[in-house]
Structure 1
Amino acid sequence: MTQESDPRTTWALDREIVLTRVIDAPLERVFRAWSDPEQIVQWFSPEGFENETLEIDIRPGGRWRFIYVSPDGVRYENRMVFLRIDAPRLIEIDHGSDIDDDPQRFRVTVTFDAQSNGKTVVTLRQLHPTAAQRAAGIGFGAVEIGFTTLDKLARHLA
């Protein structure tokens, strides 16, 4: 698939999920919580889930392979490939199942914006390959689950 035909590189509102949260911590601390392998594993998972890391290398071209373990023991294999890191403002990732060339993987762009009061606005944009996949994610609870993950980030930095 060429970049021109890759739906993760062309924006469309009907394929995007956007989550935003104000975190009561300065920009550099919030960015480090996302980019430091020792920190991200402490908070990045939905509420009630555990996170088992198989491999983590947070840098452009690096990847994080991990398993979400739900409260009832169901295991969800994940892989993030870090595409771009522009410290302390942006991280861009492809996120999907822990398989090569997962057709369901989606692009995640996380931006970090400092406020004058010392807080940071975190905006997480998921761009899905199809409108149907976005709709299925929303139906599954992706918005609510995403907000619980951002809640865990806020608690981690409190």
Structure 2
Amino acid sequence: MTLIEADPDLPIIRITREFRASREKLLRAHTDPELFVRWIGPDSTTTRIEHWDARTGGSFRYFSVRGDRDWAFRGCFHDVRPDRLVQTFTYEGDPDGVALNTLWFDDLGDGRTRLRTQSLVESFETRDGWLRSGMETGVRDGYRILERMLTDDAG
């Protein structure tokens, strides 16, 4: 189950989900562009990578594509470690809306990992706009695909 919460006191969105996969596999799915494009976003979109350098100090730019429309996203990888990923994230349709995303990969043992994410944005208005944008559908669809992908690739 994917839990998506808006912090009542800060302009933060928190997402938590447990996966039947090792911390290493889950981190790789977030940093390897060939894996990332297989699961990110709503079922109704595909992803095209323009640039991807998933290392501390690296950057990325990708497009979510549906039919003849696309939406561009970009950011920088500030810290890439086995237990944590810190990056900025910007939807280019709102270039001033930069989020600081932190992802924690908590090893639960027995081949399970809890993924905790936190997205800090500049205002409650921006945060609430993200929540109204359909972001929740993309997160839930993507994590469902990711779970299946990680489980299928485990064998």
Residue of structure 2 in register with 1:106 after alignment? 99
Alpha-carbon distance in structure 1 between the residues aligned to 2:135 and 2:43: 12
Q: How many residue pairs end up in the alignment? A: 145
Tell me which of 110, 124, 146 is aligned to 2:139.
146
Residue of structure 2 in register with 1:91 after alignment? 85
| Unaligned ranges ≥5, structure 1 | 1-10
> Structure 1 13/146 Cα, relative in aligned 2: closer, same or farther at 3 Å?
farther
- Please provide the CA RMSD for this pair: 2.1
- Whether 1:27 and 2:29 are equivalent positions in the alignment is no
Alpha-carbon deviation of 1:112?
0.4
Alpha-carbon distance in structure 2 between the residues aligned to 1:128 and 1:46: 22
After TM superposition, the structure 1 stretch with the greater mean CA deviation from structure 2, 12-21 or 56-65, is 12-21
Residue of structure 2 in register with 1:125 after alignment? 118
Alpha-carbon deviation of 1:148?
1.8
Q: Secondary structure at the match of 2:139?
A: helix
Percentage identity across aligned positions?
Answer: 23
Residue of structure 1 in register with 2:3 after alignment? none
Residue of structure 1 in register with 2:51 after alignment? 55
Alpha-carbon distance in structure 2 between the residues aligned to 1:51 and 1:147: 16
TM-score by length of structure 2 reads: 0.84
Residue of structure 2 in register with 1:64 after alignment? 60
TM-score by length of structure 1 reads: 0.82
Residue of structure 2 in register with 1:76 after alignment? 71
Alpha-carbon distance in structure 1 between the residues aligned to 2:35 and 2:91: 22
Alpha-carbon distance in structure 1 between the residues aligned to 2:112 and 2:9: 28
Q: Which amino acid aligns with 1:89?
A: D
After TM superposition, the structure 1 stretch with the greater mean CA deviation from structure 2, 32-41 or 60-69, is 32-41
Q: Secondary structure at the match of 1:115?
A: strand
Alpha-carbon deviation of 1:12?
8.1
Alpha-carbon deviation of 1:35?
1.9
Which runs of 4 or more aligned residues in structure 1 lie more than 3 Å from their structure 2 counterparts after TM superposition?
11-14
Q: Which amino acid aligns with 2:76?
A: V
Alpha-carbon distance in structure 2 between the residues aligned to 1:114 and 1:40: 20
Which has a greater percent of strand?
2
